[in-house]
Amino acid sequence: MIFAAVLAGGIGKRMGNVDKPKQFLMIGKKPIIVHTVEQFCIHDKFEKIIVLCPKQWMPYTKDLLDKYLGRTDRVCVIEGGDIRNQTIMNAIDWIESNYGLKEDTVLVTHDAVRPFVTSRIIEDNILAAKKYGACDTVVPATDTIVQSDDEKCIANIPERSKFWHGQTPQSFMAVKFKELYESLTEEEKDILTDAAKVFVMKGEKVRMVEGENFNIKVTYPYDLQLAETLLEGDK
Amino acid sequence: MLNTIYRLVEPMRFEAQFTDIDIKGDDVIVRPTHLSICNADRRYYQGKRPPEVLQKKLPMALIHEGIGKVVFDKKGEFLPGQRVVMVPNNPVEEDEVISENYLRSSSFRSSGTDGFMQDNVAMKRDRIVPLHKGMNKKVASFTELAAVSYHTINRFGEIAHKRRKTIGVWGDGNLAFITSLFLKKRMPESRIIIFGKNDWKMVNFPFADGTYNITAIPKDLFVDHAFECVGREASGAAVNQIIDHINPEGTIAIMGVSEVFVPINTRMMLEKGLRMVGSSRCGKKDFCDTLEFYRNNPEVVEYMQSIVGSVVRVKTMTDINKAFEEDIKAPGGKTVMIWEK
C-alpha cells in the first residue's frame, strides 16, 4: 500500500506578521495546504492522504479540507510531532494502527507548503521508493555553495556540479524508516533536518528524483508573492 | 489543484505556467501520455504564423493530438488508469444544421485555448473517448488527424456524385497516407491514385492502385474526384492540377492548410461544374467512428504504424525542444512525444 503524508507542522514563524501558519495562507482562491492535498487526492494509488499538523490547528485543518475538497474518507488529519521526523513517525504509527505495517508499505512525505509539486514528481517518487527503497526530490544547485567554519571567512568552495537542492517529496519504505529512526541516538535525531538524512546517516542509499525549480517551498513573504505571480498566467 | 502547463511564450521558447483546476467540478482529470506534433504546432514553434496571430495567441500550450490516462473523475464514470483519446474541439452550443467542429463559437486546443502539453488536463467528460484494449498507443496519439480524414471521407460520401471509379489523392505526406489508406479500405471498389512529389515517399503507399509524380502525370489521366492533402505554399499548385485532371462535376475535398491565399483556376472550375469542400477539423463522433474503424480493421493500424517517425521521451523542457527540432528535421512521419514531463 502507498500512503501520502502531508507535513503541515510549521507554525509560520518565518512569515512575518501573519497570524496563521503559512500553510493556511491563500494562493489564488485556495489555501496553500488545499492546493497541496489536492495534488495527492487525484492519485488513486494512495490508500490514504495523511495530513499532519499541530494539535491546536487540527480542527481548523479538518474544516478547511472539508470546505474545499468536500467530505472525503481519502484524507485524514492527525497530530504531528515536535520535529519533522517525529511527525513522520506519527504518520507511520497511524498507518500501523489502522492498516498494519508491511514490508512494501510506501510513504510519500511532502511539505504542505510546496503546492506546485507535479504528477510526474509524485509518480517518479512512488516508482523510485518501490525500486530503490528510498528517494529524495532534488534540483541541481544553481548558486555557488560556499562553506564557512567560523561564519566570517570562506573555508571552501565546493564544486557546484556535485551539489543539489533538496525538495520534497521524500519517499521510502515505511518499515525501513521506522527501523532506522528507532536505531538513532537522541544526539543523532537532534541534527536531522529531513527524512532522507536518516537513511544517509545509516549508510542506506537514497535515489535522487528530479524535481522542478518551481516546486518552491513557501517559507518567506517573498515566496508567497512569487507563488501568486506564478498563478497569474491562469487565463 | 495547481496544474503545470508548458506554454510556448515565443517561438522556440517554452515556460512552465500554472492554472488552478477545480477537482470538485464536472471535468475529468487526464494525465497525457502520448502527444503527437502537428504541422500547426510546428508553425507556432517556428514562428511561421503571422506576427499578429502569435501576438494574440501566445503564451499557449501546444498540441491538439494526444491520448492520456484518466487520473481522477469525481463522478466515477471513468476509472483511474483508463486510457482515453482527448478531443481538442470544444463546442459551447448545439446547432441542428452546423456540425460542432465548424461552429465559429467552438474553441480548439492549441489554437484558441491551451493544448495538451500539461501536467494534467481538465477535460469535459464528453470530450474524451475510451481507447480499446490493445490499441497501439503511438498510432492512437494522432487519432485527431486520422479522424479528420475519416470525417472528410464521410462528407465526401454525402456530397460527391456516385461515379467513383477513380479517386485521386494529391500529396505524399502523413495526411495523404492516412486519407488514401482509409479511402482504399472504405471504398474498395474505387481505384485510389496518389499524386506526389517524392517517389521515395510514395513507395510507402503499396495499398494504392497507382502512384504518379506530379511532374509526370499523363495528359489523358483523369479522376472522378480528388482529395487535396498538400497544403502550405504548394496548395494552389495542387488544387489547380486537380482541376486540370478531374472529370466534370467531380468533387475536390480540400484538406491541406495554407497560410497564404490560394489563386484558383475558377474558369475551369466553373466550366467543369466542380464542387469543392473543405475540412480540417472533426467532431467527437468522428473520433469514436475512427477508433471503431481501427478496432474492426487491425491491418489499418498496422499500416498506420509505418508513419510513426521520431519517438521522443519528454522529461525535461529541453526534451520538448528536442522533440520539435526532430520533427522539423524529419523528412516525414509523425513525431510522438512520450509525455513524462
pLDDT in tens, A59-90: 999 999 999 998 889 999 999 998 889 999 99
Residues B78 and B176 in one domain: no
Which member of B2, B31, B340 has the closest CB to residue A115?
Answer: B2
- Return all residues near A98 (Cβ < 8 A) that are at least 6 apart: none
Residue B300 lies in a domain: no
- pLDDT beyond 80 at A233: no
Tell me whether A204 touches chain B (CB under 8 Å).
Answer: no
Residues B230 and B153 in one domain: yes
Which of B238, B261, B278 is the last residue in one of the domains?
A: B278
Extended beta strands in chain B, E state? 2-10, 13-20, 28-36, 60-61, 65-72, 83-86, 89-90, 107-108, 121-123, 128-130, 166-170, 191-196, 210-213, 225-228, 251-254, 275-278, 308-314, 334-339
State whether residue B107 is helix, strand or coil: strand
Tell me whether B315 touches chain A (CB under 8 Å).
Answer: yes
Residue A185: burial class (beta carbons within 10 Å; 0-12, 13-18, 19+) = exposed
> If pLDDT is split at 50, 70 and 90, which confidence band does A17 have?
low
Residue B225 lies in a domain: yes
Residue B179 lies in a domain: yes
> If pLDDT is split at 50, 70 and 90, which confidence band does A141 have?
very high
> If pLDDT is split at 50, 70 and 90, which confidence band does A117 have?
very high
Residue B154 lies in a domain: yes
In chain A, which residue's Cα lies nearest the Cα of B121? A119
From chain A, pick out residues whose CB is under 8 angstroms from the CB of B24: 68-70
Which member of B2, B59, B80 has the closest CB to residue A116?
Answer: B2
CA distance B206 to B54: 40
Residues B151 and B273 in one domain: yes
> In this structure, what C-alpha cell is assigned to residue A74?
481519502
Question: What residue type is A177 in one-letter code?
Answer: F
Tell me whether B24 touches chain A (CB under 8 Å).
Answer: yes
- pLDDT beyond 70 at A15: no
3-state secondary structure B10-41: ECCEEEEEEEECCCCCCCEEEEEEEEECCHHH
Residues B137 and B153 in one domain: no
Nearest-CA distance B304 → chain A (Å) = 29
What does the pLDDT look like over B282-304, one tens digit per residue? 999 999 999 999 999 999 999 99
DSSP lists the bridge partners of residue B252 as B226, B276
- pLDDT beyond 60 at A188: yes
- pLDDT beyond 90 at A18: no
> If pLDDT is split at 50, 70 and 90, which confidence band does A22 have?
confident
- pLDDT beyond 80 at A235: no
Residue B67 lies in a domain: yes
Tell me whether B5 touches chain A (CB under 8 Å).
Answer: yes
From chain B, pick out residues whose CB is under 8 angstroms from the CB of A70: 24
Residue B20: burial class (beta carbons within 10 Å; 0-12, 13-18, 19+) = middle
State whether residue B235 is helix, strand or coil: helix
Percent of chain B with pLDDT over 90: 91
Question: What residue type is B334 in one-letter code?
Answer: K
Mean pLDDT of chain B, nearest integer: 95
pLDDT at A36: 97
Start-to-end CA distance of chain B, whole Å, equals 17
Start-to-end CA distance of chain A, whole Å, equals 38
Tell me whether A29 touches chain B (CB under 8 Å).
Answer: yes
Q: How many CA atoms lie within 13 A of A115 on its CB side?
A: 33
Count of CB pairs separated by less than 8 Å, A with B: 70
Residue A144: burial class (beta carbons within 10 Å; 0-12, 13-18, 19+) = exposed
Residues B213 and B263 in one domain: yes
Nearest of B34, B289, B68, B255 to residue B139 by alpha carbon: B34
CA distance A100 to A227: 38
Q: List chain B pLDDT tens, one digit each, 341 residues.
A: 999 999 999 999 999 999 999 998 999 999 999 999 999 999 999 999 999 999 999 999 999 999 999 999 999 999 999 999 999 999 999 999 998 888 999 888 999 899 999 999 999 999 999 999 999 999 999 999 999 999 999 999 999 999 999 999 999 999 999 999 999 999 999 999 999 999 999 999 999 999 999 999 999 999 999 999 999 889 999 999 999 999 999 999 999 988 889 999 999 999 999 999 998 889 999 999 999 999 999 999 999 999 999 999 999 999 999 999 999 999 889 999 999 99
- pLDDT beyond 80 at A27: yes
What does the pLDDT look like over B268-285, one tens digit per residue? 999 999 999 998 889 999
CA distance A163 to B30: 35
Domain that holds residue B95: 2-141+308-339
Nearest of A59, A49, A51 to residue A9 by alpha carbon: A51
Percent of chain A with pLDDT over 90: 78
Residues B215 and B269 in one domain: yes
**Cβ pair A118:B4 closer than 8 A:** yes
What does the pLDDT look like over B242-251, one tens digit per residue? 999 999 999 9
Residues B195 and B86 in one domain: no
From chain B, pick out residues whose CB is under 8 angstroms from the CB of A214: 4, 16, 18
Nearest of A103, A122, A118 to residue A49 by alpha carbon: A122
**Cβ pair A30:B24 closer than 8 A:** no
CB burial string A103-135: b at 16+ within 10 A, e below: eebbbbbbbbbbbbbbbbbbebbbebbeebbbb
CATH of the domain at B319: 3.90.180.10
Tell me whether A96 touches chain B (CB under 8 Å).
Answer: no
pLDDT at A225: 85
DSSP lists the bridge partners of residue B4 as B18
Residue B290 lies in a domain: no
- pLDDT beyond 90 at A13: no
Strand pairing class (B89-90; B107-108): antiparallel
From chain B, pick out residues whose CB is under 8 angstroms from the CB of A140: none
Tell me whether A20 touches chain B (CB under 8 Å).
Answer: no
* Whether B217 contacts B194, CB under 8 Å: no
CATH of the domain at B273: 3.40.50.720
Residues B102 and B159 in one domain: no
Residues B21 and B120 in one domain: yes
- Total number of domains constituting chain B: 2
Residue B19 lies in a domain: yes
Which of B261, B278, B295 is the last residue in one of the domains?
A: B278
Nearest-CA distance B317 → chain A (Å) = 10
Which member of A42, A44, A70 has the closest CB to residue B1?
Answer: A42
In chain B, which residue's Cα lies nearest the Cα of A212? B316
Helix ranges restricted to H, chain A: 32-41, 58-69, 84-98, 119-132, 174-182, 186-190, 195-201, 221-231
Mean pLDDT of chain A, nearest integer: 91
**Cβ pair A35:B120 closer than 8 A:** no
Q: Which helix (H) or strand (E) holds B184?
A: helix B174-186
DSSP structure string for B250-275: -EEEE----SS-----HHHHHHHT-E
Residues B230 and B312 in one domain: no
pLDDT at B169: 98
What does the pLDDT look like over B223-270, one tens digit per residue? 999 999 999 889 999 999 999 999 999 999 999 988 889 999 999 999
pLDDT at B58: 95
Residues B169 and B131 in one domain: no
pLDDT at B100: 87
pLDDT at A165: 95
DSSP lists the bridge partners of residue B18 as B4
pLDDT at B340: 95
Residues B240 and B258 in one domain: yes
State whether residue B249 is helix, strand or coil: coil
Instruction: Give the rounded distance of the alpha carbon of B249 from its chain centre.
Output: 28
Residue B262 lies in a domain: yes
**Cβ pair B23:A30 closer than 8 A:** no
pLDDT at B68: 98
